[in-house]
Amino acid sequence: MNVMPARTPKAPAPSRRGLTIAIGLGIVVLAAIALDTKVVGIGSDADVRKEAFSPDQFGDKEFPRIQTFVVEHAVDAATLGPAVLADKKAAAAQYGTASSTGAIMPVRLTGTAGEARSGVYDLKVEGAPEDIHVRVQMGPAINGTDLRDATGDIAFGSFKNQIEYQDAGSGINRAMKKAVLDEIDTASLSGKTMEIFGAFRLINPKNWLITPVKVTVK
């Protein structure tokens, strides 16, 4: 006797009512997603890229006021030199901006440039004590954070981390170079007289490395 295999019953076809409910639920979900989605235009206030720190934008914004500060507070080298040799701490308190690694000293001077070494010129400065070795950075590389720290109000706490804080100093240096040095033939200054406004970090009173904010070649 032949036995017929049992047939698996077919699932009932969905009713029109059930299909309508499923479509309706899908529309509701899509509408909720659309309401929760925010379209952000490129360059708008909501564009997250605008939140990223730009050292060069920061430098371009901050350098003009740093330049003004240094020029207005600059002490003639003929006055500042004897003061730092006599009492480094007192000179820093009277003329400088406090910093954790040496006060930043704004200075003005007139000097004759010697030979350049990696963009740094020795200067023979009128009126300054002869035992002070004065140099000035003229690029192309401008190093240090003397300009960032010159005003005393650009603080680490305003930045996300140490890298951003360091980059802020580099951005200011590049802004200075663009505004002050790019129009000067900095490779051919030996033997020339310059009037310089700038700042240096007071660590060794007999060794000044100046970052300029204003240079006039005479």
> What would the pLDDT profile of 157-191 be if each residue is shown by its tens digit?
999 999 999 999 999 999 999 999 999 999 999 99
Interatomic CA distance for residues 128 and 133, integer angstroms:
10
Q: Which two tokens stand for residue 37?
A: 């989605």
**Amino acid letter, 191:** G
CA-angle at 53, arms to 47 and 56, nearest 5°: 115
**Token digits for 89?**
């701490």
For 57-217, give the CATH class: mainly beta
Cα within 13 Å of Cα(140), Cβ side: 0
Give the domain ranges of the chain: 57-217
Over its length of 218 residues, how does the chain's per-residue pLDDT go in tens digits? 454 555 555 555 556 666 566 566 666 555 555 555 555 455 555 544 456 999 999 999 999 999 999 999 999 999 999 999 999 999 999 999 999 899 999 999 999 999 999 999 999 999 999 999 999 999 999 999 999 999 999 999 999 999 999 999 999 999 999 999 999 999 999 999 999 999 999 999 999 999 999 999 99
Predicted TM-score (pTM) of this structure: 0.77
CA distance 197 to 62: 17
pLDDT at position 100 is 87
Classify residue 198 by burial, with Cβ atoms within 10 Å: 0-12, 13-18, 19+.
buried
